[in-house]
Amino acid sequence: MPVIVKRIQRPDEAVARGFLGTGSATVHECVGKETANAMDAGIKPIGSGLKVAGPAITVECFPGDNSTVHIAMTLCRPGDVLVVNAHGAQSGMLGSQMVFQCIEKKIGGLVIDGGVRDSKEIIEMGFPCFARHVNPQGTAKGTLGSINVPIQCGGVLVRPGDVVVGDDDGVVVVPRTRAKEVLDKSRARDEKEREDRELFKQGKMSAELLGLTKLLEGKNVTVVEEEEV
């Protein structure tokens, strides 16, 4: 039986938007690589230079039926991100008319394990859209799914209110309860990388800074100073 949850808990707005200032790769590292937080590579932006960061409004769809997405759009607040499990359906679950409404409602973006259509118009609108497929095929309307329940998207568990961060590299999910912690770690990592680049300008190399040169001292490594002719 479908479940529709109208109101969810969201992270602090400033924290959610703060992730716009850092990259998905950095966020992935700071959530912890031992946690499945990066969606599979099939979920990618439909155009370059797109960036999204905001609380997830989760949508579980019947494959090829976008009725639930239409309803979920009415529950979004400004900055929210629609995260849709369309079970990999190639149908264009959202098109330019729906995206136009998203923009008017100030929805932050879309991540869908499924298809979209009208991609040229969506790109021209500047709406952050991350999808598995682009396909002109239309959809059915009549079989309702669930909204704001835990879902799978791109192989990652997404709960309502989790922070979704997407850019040219892909999409990462930050648990809502860890949002502030992960944002602080991400900013610290970005600052550390800026400091490292200053050292690179001075001739330092990452192999040295990371202590990897010590691997050359291992017993199972043969180091030859000069190639024999």
Q: Return the CATH number at 24.
A: 3.50.30.40
For residue 34, what pLDDT is reported? Answer: 78
For residue 201, count CB atoms less than 10 angstroms from its CB and return exposed for 0-12, middle for 13-18, buried for 19 or more: exposed
Banded model confidence at residue 186, pLDDT cuts 50, 70, 90: very high
**How large is the average pLDDT for residues 133-160?**
97
**How large is the average pLDDT for residues 10-34?**
96
**How large is the average pLDDT for residues 14-19?**
98
Residue 180 has pLDDT above 90, yes or no: yes
Kindly report whether the global pTM for this prediction surpasses the value 0.75.
Answer: yes
**How large is the average pLDDT for residues 106-118?**
98
In a domain, 200, yes or no: no
For residue 163, what pLDDT is reported? Answer: 98
For residue 220, what pLDDT is reported? Answer: 84
In a domain, 201, yes or no: no
**82-103 confidence digits (pLDDT tens):** 999 999 999 999 999 999 999 9
In a domain, 214, yes or no: no
Domain that holds residue 148: 13-185
For residue 228, what pLDDT is reported? Answer: 81
In a domain, 224, yes or no: no
In a domain, 143, yes or no: yes
Residue 115 has pLDDT above 80, yes or no: yes
In a domain, 208, yes or no: no
Under DSSP, is residue 30 helix (H, G, I), strand (E, B) or coil? helix
Q: Which of 56-70, 156-170, 211-225 has the lowest mean pLDDT?
A: 211-225
Q: Which residues have a Cβ under 8 Å from the Cβ of 54 and sit 6 or more positions away?
A: 16, 17, 79, 80, 81, 108, 109, 163, 164
- 19: closest CA among 213, 147, 154, 185? 185
Instruction: Report the domain count for the chain.
Output: 1
In a domain, 119, yes or no: yes
In a domain, 55, yes or no: yes
Banded model confidence at residue 50, pLDDT cuts 50, 70, 90: very high
What phi, psi does 45 have (nearest 5°)?
A: -65, 145
Banded model confidence at residue 36, pLDDT cuts 50, 70, 90: confident
What phi, psi does 224 have (nearest 5°)?
A: -105, 125
Q: How far is CA 62 from the centre of its chain?
A: 22
Element (H, E) at 71: helix 67-75
Per-residue exposure over 84-102, b if at least 16 CB sit within 10 Å of its own CB, e if not: bbbeebbbbbbbbebbeeb
